[in-house]
Amino acid sequence: MTNLQGKTALVTGAGRGIGQAIALKLAAEGARIVLNDLDEDPVKDTVAQIEARGGQAVPCVGSVSAPAFAEEFVSTAVEAFDGIDIIVNNAGFTWDNVIQKMTDDQWDAILDVHLKAPFRILRAAQPVISAAVKAERAAGLQVPCRKVVNISSLAGVGGNVGQANYASAKAGVEGLTRTVAKEWGRYNITVNAVAYGMIHTRLTAASADGDSTISIQGNDIKIGMNPELLEQMERSIPLGRAGTPEEAAGAVYLLCSPESNYISGQTLVCGGGFMI
């Protein structure tokens, strides 16, 4: 039997990159996955990969920033799998600029996706989890240890040039994590964060011309890094390289596994030894 057999895990931003790796890892450990992404095709791909490996998964396509998304996400989990055991708030992107050039739209978009969306999802999940815990206690059952893992960044720990919006959002994730850990301990829920350093994804891939973009809700967002800068940054990492999405997923899994049942309110840095 795998460590997460019978558990239901909600993972946002699970169509690509780190989020997809997290969904695949948790599914491989036995969890049933409710996965989200902004685009339908990546979600279908992740669902298909999980099912091809004998797992169970259902999609919930849409923007985590949408006002009604959190309730839909939670309802999908309840309808498909009758409960919630794990929540991984992973969805996000960066939209960089130095502070004097950063627009209100840039600020609001990044705070919405990285901080407001996790807040809304946790708020929507609370009645479901509370009711489950009350029912378990009334039946004389042992209340299982449920898990929340919020995704932070080294930018939220030490700041980063051109990322006032992103760093502020991720610093907020740290405060949200510690607060909910104190509020939800009575439900036997651990709430932790993973702060990533450099991980290889499409957002950090080498881009020689600097013209690579993705479209997010009508905005063209630059992605990729100058190859020389990328190489320089990797040299500054004690392990000498950026991490893989699978290694990033491993950090989340550690905080979802039974071995972490007495760890809560903490931030695990997954950065190859690099610290700001």
Catalytic residue among 166, 187, 196, 262: 166
Which candidate, 194, 119, 144, places its Cα nearest to that of 8? 144
Q: What contacts 29, CB < 8 A, 6 or more positions away?
A: 2, 3, 4, 5, 253, 256, 257
Query: What are 190's two structure tokens?
Result: 């651990």
Give catalytic status of residue 187 as yes or no.
no
Q: Mapping DSSP to helix (H, G, I), strand (E, B) and coil, where does residue 137 land?
A: helix
Rounded to whole angstroms, the maximal C-alpha distance in the chain is: 62
* 152 contacts 195 by C-beta, under 8 angstroms: yes
* 241 contacts 234 by C-beta, under 8 angstroms: yes
The H-assigned helical ranges of the chain are 17-28, 40-52, 69-81, 104-111, 117-138, 154-158, 164-184, 227-235, 245-256
State the SS3 of 174-224: HHHHHHHHHHHHHHCEEEEEEEECCECCCCCCECCCCCCEEEECCEEEECC
Neighbours of 61 (CB within 10 A): 16
* 139 contacts 113 by C-beta, under 8 angstroms: no
Distances (CA, A) of 28 to 37, 117, 147, 162, 254: 20, 26, 17, 37, 14
Q: Please list the active-site residues.
A: 166
